């Protein structure tokens, strides 16, 4: 199905067609997979979010490579994403066909999947000086605040591994949302230490330019001396590059980017690319050019994922292609401790080996990338490598970001553990706690009791 150039030529204006549980069985490619596979997808898709689109289906997935195709695994529900016990529960509920029971079973399972890892819900929600809690924002690191516009709580397609999955499954009480750009401005005025605002979601580039400008304009008009960078976390370049090419608001969106740059604010698109396949179409290459022509920069990031990209050759090729296209490799993440981590997760030692093998194969220009990195409760922790001391193997780690900025760049050691897939699995090399644990526990008590403190 790939390379249907005439239909997808960049001078045409394709319209996005979404596929979800409601209509995915209409796809001829899916019909060929048979009823059993379709039902499996339904079981998983009733618990975890599922949405893909015609560009992904026709341009990115190689249907001759099913079930192993990385883009297929990335966007279609896979049976292994639910542990057998959860799968059996949902299968039974679906077979009974009672809608209420299906919903309740789905919610019950979701709550067991650690829907808000790293204390997102209770630890990072900031408060205005007048006491208003800003549930549409998170402020974990001193200089950066995350903003979740209520209008961007979806994406052009959903990644099966996504740690933001609770926002897409209709559990309203789990949803971060905030409407007013004014509250964002007020918070930035109250916190001059913040230099970076990260628009995230969902995917902020799902918003029409008109809506997006209602968030950006107040920021530009406020002339905030502390605001140096606006980042936009997005997978639109990969899942729907036409957002910057031929959609009816493409020019208007690019114009907003230009206005940000002209204002003297750095605009960074944090582009999610999980596989080199996503960089191969004419459309994505053209979209990258258009975005870069506004003066914005594109930095790229992805988690390392079993079944999708656990391959050093692929990473090396992806970083090289990104540099060739003018993008800056930025992060390799470790899959978070939520959702289907058991399916996509990779032991930290293996992730580090893949990172190192790929890193060795690229030039200095691609070595801007950092990883593998865990966004854990105390901060972003990188697995630097394995050291040997006195005949014993040890894991060397460091903070790239910390709840306390003083933790950053301090190497620390953990016992060698080939099975560990997350920070919580690691044991300190000496003593019974890592150097940051006492302070972290204190900080968490303060944050829980007094909301987000002045930092």
Binding interface with ligand SF4 (CB under 6 A) = 155, 158-159, 162, 164, 201-203, 235, 272
Q: How far apart are CA 322 and CA 319, in angstroms?
A: 5
Compute the least distance from the CB of residue 416 to ligand SF4, in Å: 31
Distances (CA, A) of 271 to 26, 238, 375: 30, 8, 17
Query: Terminus-to-terminus CA distance in the chain, angstroms?
Result: 53
Residue number, 124 or 186, with CB nearest to ligand SF4: 124
Most distant CA pair in the chain, distance: 64
What is the DSSP pairing of strand 297-304 with strand 266-272?
Answer: parallel
Nearer to ligand SF4, 162 or 169 (CB): 162
Whose CA is closest to 115, among 171, 184, 33, 37? 171
Reported in sequence order, the residue ranges of 315-369 that DSSP labels E, i.e. its strands, are 328-334
Question: Cα–chain-centroid distance for residue 108?
Answer: 24
**For 325-346, b where at least 16 C-beta lie within 10 A, e where not — what string?**
bebbbbbbbbbbbbbbbebbbb
Unique residue bearing structure tokens 């379709």: 38
Based on CB atoms, which residue is closest to ligand SF4, 70 or 202? 202
Closest CA to 268 of 279, 257, 254: 257
In the complex with ligand SF4, the residue whose CB is nearer, 145 or 270, is 270
At closest approach, how far in Å is the CB of 304 from ligand SF4?
A: 14
> In the complex, what is the shortest distance from the CB of residue 77 to ligand SF4, in angstroms, rounded to a whole number?
13
Least distance CB 203 / ligand SF4 (angstroms): 5
Comparison of 166 and 402: residue with beta carbon closer to ligand SF4: 166
Minimum Å distance from CB 65 to ligand SF4? 21
Name the residue nearer to ligand SF4 (CB basis): 204 or 378.
204
Of 46 and 186, the one with the shorter C-beta distance to ligand SF4 is 46
As a whole number of angstroms, the distance between CA 403 and CA 379 comes to 6
Instruction: List, in sequence order, every residue forming a beta bridge with 52; answer none if it has no partner.
Output: 19
| Between 238 and 297, CB nearer to ligand SF4 | 238
Nearest-angstrom CA–CA distance, 107 and 441 = 30
The answer for residues whose C-beta is within 8 angstroms of residue 452's C-beta and 6 or more apart is 124, 125, 126, 127, 139
Q: Which of 55, 63, 3 is nearest to 241 (CA)?
A: 55
In the complex, minimum distance from the CB of residue 236 to ligand SF4, in angstroms, rounded to a whole number: 8
Report in angstroms how near the CB of residue 162 gets to ligand SF4 at its nearest.
3
């Amino acid at each position: 199905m790939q390379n249907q150039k005439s239909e997808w030529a960049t001078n045409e204006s394709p319209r996005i067609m979404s596929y979800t549980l409601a209509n995915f069985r209409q796809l001829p490619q899916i019909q060929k997979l048979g009823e059993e596979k379709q039902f499996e997808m339904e079981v998983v898709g009733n618990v975890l979010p599922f949405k893909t689109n015609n560009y992904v289906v026709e341009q990115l997935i190689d249907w001759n490579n099913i079930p192993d195709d990385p883009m297929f695994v990335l966007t279609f529900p896979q049976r292994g994403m639910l542990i057998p016990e959860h799968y059996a529960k949902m299968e039974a509920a679906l077979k009974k066909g009672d809608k209420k029971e299906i919903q309740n079973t789905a919610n019950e399972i979701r709550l067991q999947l650690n829907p808000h890892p790293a204390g997102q819900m209770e630890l990072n929600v900031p408060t205005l000086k007048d006491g208003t809690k800003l549930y549409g924002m998170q402020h974990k690191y001193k200089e950066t605040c995350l903003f979740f516009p209520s209008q961007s709580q979806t994406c052009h397609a959903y990644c099966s591994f996504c740690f933001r999955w609770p926002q897409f499954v209709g559990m309203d009480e789990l949803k971060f949302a905030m409407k007013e750009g004014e509250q964002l401005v007020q918070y930035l005025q109250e916190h001059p230490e913040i230099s970076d605002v990260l628009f995230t979601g969902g995917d902020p580039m799902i918003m029409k330019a008109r809506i997006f400008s209602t968030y950006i304009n107040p920021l530009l008009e406020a002339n905030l001396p502390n605001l140096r960078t606006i980042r936009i976390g997005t997978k639109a370049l990969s899942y729907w590059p036409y957002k910057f090419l031929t959609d009816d608001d493409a020019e208007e969106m690019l114009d907003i980017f230009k206005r940000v740059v002209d204002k003297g604010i750095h605009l960074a698109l944090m582009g999610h690319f999980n596989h080199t396949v996503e960089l191969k179409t004419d459309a994505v290459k053209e979209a990258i050019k258009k975005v870069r022509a506004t003066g914005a920069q594109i930095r790229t990031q992805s988690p390392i994922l079993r079944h999708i990209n656990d391959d050093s050759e692929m990473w090396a090729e992806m970083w090289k292609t990104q540099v060739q296209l003018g993008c800056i490799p930025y992060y390799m993440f470790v899959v978070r401790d939520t959702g289907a981590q058991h399916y996509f997760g990779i032991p930290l030692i293996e992730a580090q080996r893949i990172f190192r093998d790929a890193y060795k194969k690229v030039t200095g220009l691609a070595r801007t990338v950092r990883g593998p990195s865990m966004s854990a409760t105390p901060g972003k922790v990188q697995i630097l490598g394995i050291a040997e001391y006195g005949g014993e193997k040890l894991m060397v780690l460091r903070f790239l970001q910390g709840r306390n900025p003083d933790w950053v760049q301090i190497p620390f050691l953990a016992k060698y553990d080939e099975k560990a897939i997350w920070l919580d699995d690691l044991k300190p090399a000496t003593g019974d706690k890592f150097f940051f644990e006492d302070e972290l526990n204190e900080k968490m008590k303060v944050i829980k009791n007094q909301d987000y403190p002045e930092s």
